[in-house]
Amino acid sequence: MRRIPILAFCFFALLALSACASGSGTAAPAATAPQPAASEPAGSAPAAGGGGCTTASEAGAVSVGIENFAFAPADVTAAVGETITWTNSDSAPHTATLDDGACDTGNIAQNASAGLVFDAAGTYPYHCTIHPNMKGTITIQ
């Protein structure tokens, strides 16, 4: 008789753990998804009708912090060719990914930084692919 409550507890514990894992967006395929090539177009630059971005390894003039599962500031403005750098202060990894998926920093680990450089003026909405509630807008002038 004691086996049924133990089995029921194990079943519900597994169910709760799987719901947490799938709801957090940290599934392995997201971490191993292929990243766009540096020369792929950004495509979400309405002001310029297109454009592109590349990843950058050097710190830029425009900085965005990642803290408490939020971009700070969430909305940034930079010039064409200027590097925007995201620095992650959270213990969880994050990304800065254009909403159309055309450009992505890749995973940014705790205390690490990653940058993007845009070659066309426009407005680029972005988010964290791991934590989709993290959102912001990049304005390139």
Q: What is the pLDDT of residue 18?
A: 42
Q: What is the pLDDT of residue 91?
A: 96
Q: What is the pLDDT of residue 80?
A: 96
Q: What is the pLDDT of residue 59?
A: 84
Q: What is the pLDDT of residue 66?
A: 98
Contacts of range 101-106, beta carbons closer than 8 Å, 24 or more positions apart: 101/36, 102/36, 102/40, 102/41, 102/42, 102/43, 102/44, 102/52, 102/53, 103/36, 103/40, 103/42, 103/52, 103/53, 103/54, 103/55, 104/35, 104/36, 104/129, 105/55, 106/35, 106/55
The answer to pTM > 0.75 is: no
CATH 2.60.40.420 correct for 41-140 = yes
- The per-residue pLDDT string of the chain (141 residues; one tens digit each, 9 = 90 and over) reads 555 555 555 454 444 444 444 344 443 333 333 333 333 333 333 333 345 899 998 888 899 999 999 999 999 999 999 999 999 999 999 999 999 999 999 999 999 999 999 999 999 999 999 999 999 999 999
Q: What is the pLDDT of residue 71?
A: 98
